[in-house]
Chains A and B, each alone.
Chain A
Amino acid sequence: MTPFLEVSGVSKRFGGVQAVSDVSFTLRRGAIKAVIGPNGAGKTTLFNMVSGFSTPDRGAITFAGRPIHGLQPHEVAARGISRTFQNIRLFARMTALENVMVGRHLRSRAGFLAGLLDLSWSRREAAAVRAAALEVMAFLGIEGLADAEATSLAYGQQRAVELARALAAGPELVLLDEPAAGLNMRETRDLARLITRVRDQGATVLLVEHDMSLVMEICDEVLVLASGEKIAEADPGTVQRDPQVIKVYLGEEEAC
């Protein structure tokens, strides 16, 4: 069986920096996998390549059996891949609900003409989009924020809205770039439960994370990067005992 997501031999160079070099890994459907590594290890670059935000110099990425490297972000999204951003990227001057409604963009189709003429089917569609967005917000427990301006919310709430927006698309694969960054311990525990529930509802999750407790608690597999190269790929327990990983990553933390 072909893997759900297969990244094979991808490399990316920015000027004189080899951000990612010859990284391969696979992700099976229904798994939660984390990409960890010290700062500058190439995690976000790898994420950007999977989500179409940058094109690998070499290598291939296939999703559900079809190549996706070199596609535009909106084309990758159309294949069923949704993402969040390390630096929250909510739509300014729009309410939290409207932000989440944009997440339903690919699940609706009213165009210019339908919009101009306010056709009855497009009104029905808009109502359905709204209901679906509210449902996702309720799932995350943030339906109370619906009418607040998204960028005026507290940091943790903004993270939740961004997650809701990504989930509203009904993605098969969710990419979460440091979802726990800036969250306190209780919020991080809630997030862990939430990600598990997202997976239980049928999505596959790939996340970049610094918070080791979160990674160890919820992930089935961990991919460790250092200086753009893969140094380990295994279940959390094995990775934790891997001498090379301890040396480049965990070891540094223990030394602190």
Chain B
Amino acid sequence: MRLHRQGQVGIFVVGAVALQLALVAAGKGFLLTQLTMAAYYTLAVLGISLLMGYAGQISLGHAGFFAVGGYTSALLTTFDLGPQRARPLVSALEQAGLLVARADGYGGEVLAVHPVAAALCAVALAMALALAVGVPVLRLKGHYLAMATLGIGTIVYSVVLGTSWLGSADGIAGVPPFPLPGGASVGGRAGGRVVNYYVAVLLLSAAMLGLLNLVQARVGRALRAIHGAEDAAGAMGVDTARLKLGTFVLSAALAAVAGVFLTHYNGGIGPSEASTMKSVKYMAIVAVGGMGSLWGTLGMSLALNFLSLRGTFGVFDDAVFGLSLVAIMLFAPEGLLALEPRRALAALRERLGGAGEAPR
């Protein structure tokens, strides 16, 4: 089983390498940019897949967690602490190596939080927020989490849109690259496209392997048990509220990681990343990919996000995701990949045939 999971992820990596080589060979290397962004969004979507498919909970606020991650990183890595250098706290942070100075492009110098430290803060903040929402809400049975997260998403959106030091409608720009070992970095630097693509692919693969491990492990088995018969799971000692909470916090952390890296990649973040429509989009992708099907979600998310980022759907982008959510719920609630064409056709024929049958 273990080799099986590693093999699947290995095939995915090989496919990603083949795609990169083919695109570059075809002179379409610029497409890697949208693929990289799609990979980061997919990281967030995978967490929601786990939450919806395994914990049976719906979140309408994951764009909020994504934005908490992205904005925290953006703010901490761009806010100039230079003028406060004399203060004991700032100098202590600088001594500890948590602050870095860099040229601001105008001949001056910016002293800001190291991207790695900022990223850790960002993910921790998103997890703390998820914990604060989840603890009271997940004790209740039913879909209260959908409502609570809808509220949180709306609040995050309003806050980033209405706060001047978060850039209001413009968001935060000038976010420095995220340094990686070996001199590479996650950022918008020209020429770094291929490296960035591979960083995103590796991050996504690692998350995928982790989640595949998790759903086969004790926690995943207990989550599936909750989905199968919640009362019986309780009778076996499964603390359902706690497991749902853990899944929710994990999914928020994944969204925040995605937000952090996409913000570094794009060099900034804007309020649209926090909008409720983004959350709905994530949810629609999970539904299309098949709730609880991590590979289905991954494939659908990469494809749909890529097409959306390429502008394929034009002004109908939101409508496409809304419509696909409705269509999936009506015709293939198990997800597109779970649809067996032959059986679906047979069902359709039966439905139509009922009307056209010869009278007896």
Q: Which of A141-170 contact B (CB under 8 A)?
A: 165-166, 169
Scan B181-225; emit 1 where CB is below 8 A from any A CB, else 0.
000000000000000000000000000001101100111111011
Q: Which chain B residues in 204-260 approach chain A with CB under 8 Å? A: 210-211, 213-214, 217-222, 224-225, 227-229, 231-240, 246, 250
Number of A-B contacts (CB under 8 A): 114
B342 at interface by CB-CB < 8 Å: no
B222: nearest residue on chain A (CB-CB)? A105
> Do the beta carbons of A78 and B250 come within 8 Å of each other?
no
- What's the nearest-Cβ distance from chain B to residue A78, in Å? 5
Instruction: Name the interface residues of A94-149: CB closer than 8 Å to any CB of B.
Output: 94, 98-99, 101-103, 105-106, 108-112, 114-118, 122-123, 125-126, 129
User: Does chain B have a CB within 8 A of A77?
Assistant: yes
User: Residue A234 at the B interface, CB < 8 A?
Assistant: no
Cα A117 to Cα B229 with chains together (Å): 27
Residues of chain A with a CB closer than 8 A to B235's CB: 51, 53, 73-74, 77, 82-83, 85, 89, 166
Q: Which residues of B contact A74 (CB under 8 A)?
A: 234-240
| Contacts A51-B235, A89-B231 given; does A111 touch B221 at CB 8 Å | no
Q: How many residues of B contact A (CB 8 A)?
A: 28
B250 and A105 within 8 A (CB): no
Q: Which of A110, A116, A122 contacts B211 (CB 8 A)?
A: A116
B243 to chain A, nearest CB (A): 9
Residues of B within 8 A of A93 (CB): 224, 227-228
Tell me whether B237 and A90 are in contact (CB under 8 A): no
**Which of chain B's residues have a CB closer than 8 A to the CB of A82?**
235-236
**B2 CB–A CB distance under 8 Å:** yes
- Chain A residues, CB < 8 A from B225: 91, 94, 99, 102
- Whether A106 contacts B237 by the Cβ 8 Å rule is yes
What per-residue 1/0 map shows which CB atoms of A68-88 lie under 8 Å from chain B?
Answer: 000011100110001101000
Q: In chain B between 1 and 36, which residues have their CB closer than 8 angstroms to a CB of chain A?
A: 2
Q: Does A92 contact B (CB under 8 A)?
A: yes
State the CA gap A243–B228 with chains docked (Å): 45
CB-CB nearest in chain A for B210: A116
The residues of A that contact B214 with a CB separation of less than 8 Å are: 112, 115-116
B226–chain A nearest beta-carbon distance, Å: 9
Task: Tell me, rounded to whole Å, the shortest Cβ–Cβ distance linking B157 to chain A.
Answer: 29
For the complex, give the distance between the alpha carbons of A10 and B218 in Å.
Answer: 36
By a CB distance below 8 angstroms, the chain B residues around A111 are 218-219, 246
Contact A117 B218 (CB under 8 A): no
CA distance A126 to B217 in the complex (A): 7
List chain B residues, Cβ under 8 A from A125: 218
| B206 CB, min distance to chain A CBs, angstroms | 10
Given A115-B214, A115-B219; A90-B2 close (CB under 8 Å): no
3 tightest A-B CB contacts, nearest first:
A91-B228, A115-B217, A77-B237
Can you name 27 A-B residue pairings with CB atoms under 8 Å?
A72-B234, A74-B234, A74-B235, A74-B236, A77-B236, A77-B237, A83-B235, A85-B231, A85-B232, A92-B227, A93-B227, A98-B221, A105-B236, A105-B237, A111-B219, A112-B214, A112-B219, A115-B217, A115-B218, A115-B220, A116-B210, A116-B213, A122-B217, A125-B218, A129-B218, A166-B235, A169-B237
